Amino acid sequence: MEIFGGFMVMMSILGLFLAVIWFVMPFVVFAVKGRVERAVILLESVDQRLARLEERLAAAEADSGKAGSPSDSPATERG
C-alpha cells in the first residue's frame, strides 16, 4: 500500500505545480503582450524612418541623374 501513498504524494506535488502555473500564466501573457505591442510600435517607427530615407535616396539619385554625371556618359567608355 505504500506504492499508492507515494503515488498520491507525487500527484499532489504535480497538482500543486499545475495550480501555480495556472494562476501565474495570465500575468505572463499580459506582460508578453505589452512587450510585443511596444516592439510593434518600434518596428513601425523604424519602417517609417526607412521609407523616408529611401525617398531621400531616390530623390538624390534623380537629381544626380538630371545633372548628367560624367561617369554615366558614353564618351568615357573605352572600347
Instruction: Tell me the three cell numbers of residue 68.
Output: 548628367
Q: Tens digits of per-residue pLDDT, 1-46?
A: 566 778 888 999 999 999 999 999 988 888 899 899 999 999 999 9
Is there a contact between 76 and 70 (Cβ–Cβ < 8 Å)? yes
Q: What pLDDT is stored for residue 31 in this prediction?
A: 87
